[in-house]
């Protein structure tokens, strides 16, 4: 016969079975709520940066013959030109999608009460949601300005 461990479990050799260390209730779920939106946000913003680099290189090709643009004189660049690199909406789309995902995760976390009733956790979720919404609004306004070709940097 096998010897039983104090918890009533034993292994094939008669010793106590290995038990995983106890974890606080919900800690793995809370970590998922923290890590997943952050990873999606990083991936979206890396793709955004790559597309923005492609757009910038297209501006260099068109307005500076492939040489770097002079940062002190950007007034000759028509940012609304449709045939220069990827469209602005395509450039901003990965950033919007990642922020929308993060915002939805924050809203859902607020709704279902991830983190329990800890005041700092709730404030963190509300803060992240507010930042996400304001960032999306800013980027929409920037997109409209860039596509119109108007602004302080244009003639």
Do 105 and 38 meet the contact criterion of CB atoms below 8 Å apart? no
Instruction: Give the pLDDT confidence score for residue 155 in this predicted structure.
Output: 47
Instruction: Give the pLDDT confidence score for residue 140 in this predicted structure.
Output: 93
Alpha helices in 7-155 (DSSP H): 27-64, 88-112, 119-148
Instruction: Give the pLDDT confidence score for residue 7 in this predicted structure.
Output: 53
**Over the stretch 9-45, which tens digit does the pLDDT of each residue have?**
555 556 555 555 554 555 666 667 667 788 888 999 9
* Dist. CA 49–CA 120, nearest whole Å: 32
Instruction: Give the pLDDT confidence score for residue 73 in this predicted structure.
Output: 67
* Dist. CA 16–CA 9, nearest whole Å: 6
Do 109 and 33 meet the contact criterion of CB atoms below 8 Å apart? yes
Q: What is the mean pLDDT of the segment spanning 46-51?
A: 96
Q: What is the three-class DSSP state of 84?
A: coil
Instruction: Give the pLDDT confidence score for residue 30 in this predicted structure.
Output: 62
Above 70 in pLDDT, residue 47?
Answer: yes
Beta bridge partners of 16: 10
* Dist. CA 104–CA 33, nearest whole Å: 11
Do 60 and 69 meet the contact criterion of CB atoms below 8 Å apart? yes
Q: What is the mean pLDDT of the segment spanning 74-103?
A: 88
The predicted model scores a pTM of 0.69
Above 50 in pLDDT, residue 84?
Answer: yes
Do 19 and 7 meet the contact criterion of CB atoms below 8 Å apart? yes
Do 40 and 98 meet the contact criterion of CB atoms below 8 Å apart? yes
**Over the stretch 95-154, which tens digit does the pLDDT of each residue have?**
999 999 989 988 888 888 766 667 787 888 889 899 999 999 999 999 998 888 765 555
And the tokens for 121? 């956790």
């Amino acid at each position: 016969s096998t010897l039983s461990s104090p918890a009533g479990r034993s292994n094939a050799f008669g010793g106590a079975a290995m038990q995983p260390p106890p974890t606080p209730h919900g800690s793995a779920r809370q970590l998922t709520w923290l890590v997943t939106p952050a990873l999606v946000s990083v991936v979206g913003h890396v793709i955004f940066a790559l597309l923005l680099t492609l757009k910038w290189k297209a501006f260099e090709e068109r307005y500076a013959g492939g040489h770097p643009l002079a940062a002190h004189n950007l007034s000759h660049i028509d940012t609304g030109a449709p045939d220069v690199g990827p469209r602005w909406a395509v450039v901003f789309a990965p950033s919007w999608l990642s922020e929308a995902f993060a915002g939805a995760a924050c809203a859902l976390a607020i709704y279902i009460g991830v983190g329990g009733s800890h005041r700092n956790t709730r404030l963190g979720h509300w803060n992240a949601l507010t930042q996400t919404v304001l960032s999306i609004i800013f980027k929409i306004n920037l997109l409209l300005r860039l596509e119109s070709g108007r602004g302080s940097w244009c003639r």
